[in-house]
Amino acid sequence: MSKFEILSKDGNARRGILSTLHGDINTPAFMPVGTAATVKGVFTDDILKTGSEIILGNTYHLMLRPTSEIIKKLGGLHKFMNWNKPILTDSGGYQVFSLSELRKLTDNGVEFRSHIDGKKIFMSPEDSIQIQINLNSDIVMVLDECTPYPSTYDTAKKSMLLSMQWAKRCKEYFGENDNSLFGIVQGSTYEDLRSDSAKRLIDIDFDGYAVGGLAVGETQEEMFRVLDFTTPVLPKNKPHYLMGVGKPEDILGAVERGIDMFDCVLPTRSGRTGQGFTSLGPINVRNAKYKLSNDPIDPFSQNPICMNYSLGYIHHLFNAKEMLGGMLLSLHNIYFYQEMMQNIRKAIERQELKSFIKNFRERYNTN
């Protein structure tokens, strides 16, 4: 079971420490995504050097390949991937949602076809928890249905109630466990449904509370509106996790609204396709204007990629289709995110979050 301590506040923003069996996590925290037991293109030692304290693994992908049973036999996910710090695993609900053409939902669980070989698979809430127990995740997520956007009120309500039924079954199956179990608030963009969902989860009692069903197509304004009425009803002494978010400006706005934890594939997915995150906004390193550049990716960063490799060199690597280009840019992007999170935490401690966000946005949008 994790322990969450709030060290300081600035408005609704919180600076805290989440303690787990595999170490402490300073919050607000960003979790790089390690879908198939690897943060794509980045060595474990290098992830550690970025200041990352927790990574996310993917239940759906790991249950299919190599299977959670194999990972358990090999000593659990930490040993398997050589990562001795905390791991959070999602329940597989989002992946099943994204494969909607291959799935069939029932009260008992979800039936879907593997994207690898088309094999028919059934996953119940209990199955999802058992897989994550096999992996020995520090933070286990309940199985939920990620409600599509947009949804009618009736569709969102039916989906939310199914997720709440599954959440209760997950908690009962999880039982007494040294690791942590987080519930997931659903309800689409409807305030009363989000409130009802949160209250049902609080009654079940979880170690932390995630906000799901966002970053699925809604505008940033809509996402912030949902957070404005959702985070205030979550327990103030437990961590709040916004799933699948996001862009730097999304994270800043969510921290202001009381969110403590984030995950997103953006740093590495963007890195593999040539997009670098910088203090002056994102850039495409493949652009011809960088061909003769001796400048670093980010003129305001002292990270090892910026200190040792020029934009011109990374531009060349992408043009030559050398895999090192994507590796270096992915690592740079993780550094960028972790430096941003560190600066957010300092700003909350100093009661300077509003001015930090104002300055960040003014500089970030100059490209």
Six token digits for residue 292: 């003769």
Closest C-alpha among 353, 117, 126, 341 to residue 256: 353
CA distance 173 to 129: 7
Q: Output the DSSP codes for 63-105.
A: HHTT-HHHHHHTT-HHHHHT--S-EEEE-SHHHHHHTGGGEEE
CA distance 89 to 91: 6
Q: What three-state secondary structure class fits 20?
A: strand
Catalytic residue among 10, 90, 196, 298, which?
Answer: 90
CA distance 210 to 231: 10
Is 263 known to be catalytic? yes
Catalytic residue among 46, 127, 196, 263, which?
Answer: 263
CA distance 268 to 119: 29
Question: Taking the C-alpha atoms of 143, 146, 147 and 149 in order, what is their torsion angle to the nearest 10 degrees?
Answer: 170
CA distance 271 to 326: 5
CB count, 10 Å around CB of 76?
A: 17
* Beta strands at 87-90 and 55-58: parallel, antiparallel or unpaired: parallel
Is the Cβ–Cβ distance between 278 and 306 less than 8 Å? Answer: no
* Beta strands at 261-264 and 29-34: parallel, antiparallel or unpaired: parallel
Catalytic residues: 90, 263
